[in-house]
Amino acid sequence: MEEKCSLDKHKEVKAINYCPECKIYMCNKCDNYHSELFLNHHQVKLDKDINLIFTGFCKEKNHLDKLEYFCKTHNKLVCASCIAKIKKNGKGEHHDCDIYLNKDIKEEKKNKLKNNIKTLEDLLKTLENYSNEIKIIYEKLNKDKEELKINIQKVFTKIRNALNDREDILLSEVDQKYSEIFMNENTIKQSENLPGKARISLEKGKEIVDEKKWDNKNIINSLINDCINIENEINEINKINTTIQKLNNYDKTEIMFSPKEENKINEFIKSMISFGKIEINIYNGVFDNSTILLNKEYNNYKFILNEIENRNSKIKELKLIYRATRDGDSINNFFKKCNEIQNIILLIKTHNNTRFGGYTKIGFKKETSSTKIYKDNKAFVFSLDKKKIYPVKKDNDAIRCCYCCCPQFYNSTIYLYGNFLSGTGNLVGKVNDNYEGFSSDYELNNGIEKFKVLDLEIYQILF
């Protein structure tokens, strides 16, 4: 805010100095007089925010006192007028606060300063690191924003092209139908020539009808050819005549565009106006403290979340319910946390840093003795390294449950046995008839059948 000179005559002139003792703002002219009159007054140049300038005096309106007190309630220096019990002309704003003399809080502030210096040093290091990260994030955001715009443009270009193609087809059909049912420009041209054609054919017929000519064997072929031409001409004339006669029924035939009802057209336009929606999916803390995925990797694993939402509904929250390195890697520990929990994601990280897993809606159930196989049409397995989904084939077996080897996606697509972290029986399967999309054996684990688990996590999905 730009301060003006305190002198009435100069109230529209910009102030360049402030005198804390006189509590006045001065323009260049007033400052010259003031400097000569009050040699000992401390003048503050207004080359920065006046609120950041410490003058030692209260800046509240009508307060002329020094800042000799400290308000602990508001962590602020105040004057005697600020803490006055009687409120008048803006006085007494801090009359009910916890007030101290400045000298009494000196040690407290000095001691706290040491901690604050350490805090600022740590913050400075963090901020310097953040500075580079923020630039990278900002560039990534701009890239994502432009990609989103391009995707929207692609969709609407496809819609526009489809509408234009449909319009061209319908316009072509209009021409075709009118030509088929009524007439076209060629018919008009032909009809204009009909009298002339009929006259020529008539004259030719009269010319060759003479019996004597037919007795001449030398021209018999030519006469027959002339007869054929006359017959063809009559057929052509009759065809055009038939088309012309249809015009008499023109008023009884209607070719129309459907829908022609205004309300149906408006419904279509309304659906197009509201087509598409910009949505924000925020998965804050989805993989907090995960040993397998990091939240900042969101763009690398969002394809999994999108696939789950496509098969179900909007994800509200993902809740970590089991981690092998935290909760114990035995089958019993797994079932204590995960038995019969529905809508879960399995994440696996191997010693070779391969990352893969699967989603199941029905979850896993501990069986007492026998093994059971379950269908789950919403189940799929995925490779984080390839960013690829492998869905279960419709109505095929998807999940295998037993008491000694679980979790398992059926037909050894993902097979975990015994203790996850120390066991040696963990493996991924060959191309099979249960899950589709595989192009090679053991694809989830980059072509290797067996693997050692570095960590295993189970997340429950809340919709």
- Average pLDDT, integer, range 288-309: 82
Contact (Cβ atoms closer than 8 angstroms) between residue 41 and residue 21: yes
Segments of 270-333 assigned E as strands: 317-323
Contact (Cβ atoms closer than 8 angstroms) between residue 426 and residue 273: no
Give 23 or 461, the one with higher predicted confidence: 461
Q: What pLDDT shows up at residue 18?
A: 84
In percent, the amount of the chain with pLDDT more than 90 equals: 40
- Average pLDDT, integer, range 147-156: 93
DSSP 239: H
What pTM value is reported for the model?
0.46
Residue holding tokens 């946390």? 337
Contact (Cβ atoms closer than 8 angstroms) between residue 233 and residue 241: no
Q: What pLDDT shows up at residue 89?
A: 56
Q: What pLDDT shows up at residue 403?
A: 77
Q: Which two structure tokens, joined as six digits, stand for 132?
A: 């580079």
Q: What pLDDT shows up at residue 249?
A: 63
Q: Does residue 2 surpass a pLDDT of 80? A: no
Beta-carbon neighbour count of residue 382 at 10 Å? 25
Distance CA 312, CA 343 (A): 10
Confidence bin at 169 (pLDDT 50/70/90): very high
Q: What pLDDT shows up at residue 113?
A: 92
Beta carbons within 8 Å of 367's beta carbon, 6+ residues apart? 401, 402, 403
Q: What pLDDT shows up at residue 295?
A: 66
Q: Which two structure tokens, joined as six digits, stand for 130?
A: 């953040």
Q: Which two structure tokens, joined as six digits, stand for 218?
A: 């030398």
Residue 350, CB half-sphere, CA atoms under 13 Å: how many? 22
Per-domain residue ranges for the chain?
8-106, 183-252, 295-462
Confidence bin at 85 (pLDDT 50/70/90): confident
In percent, the amount of the chain with pLDDT more than 70 equals: 91
- Average pLDDT, integer, range 333-338: 92
Distance CA 463, CA 461 (A): 6
Mean pLDDT of the chain: 86
Confidence bin at 146 (pLDDT 50/70/90): very high
Q: What pLDDT shows up at residue 57?
A: 77
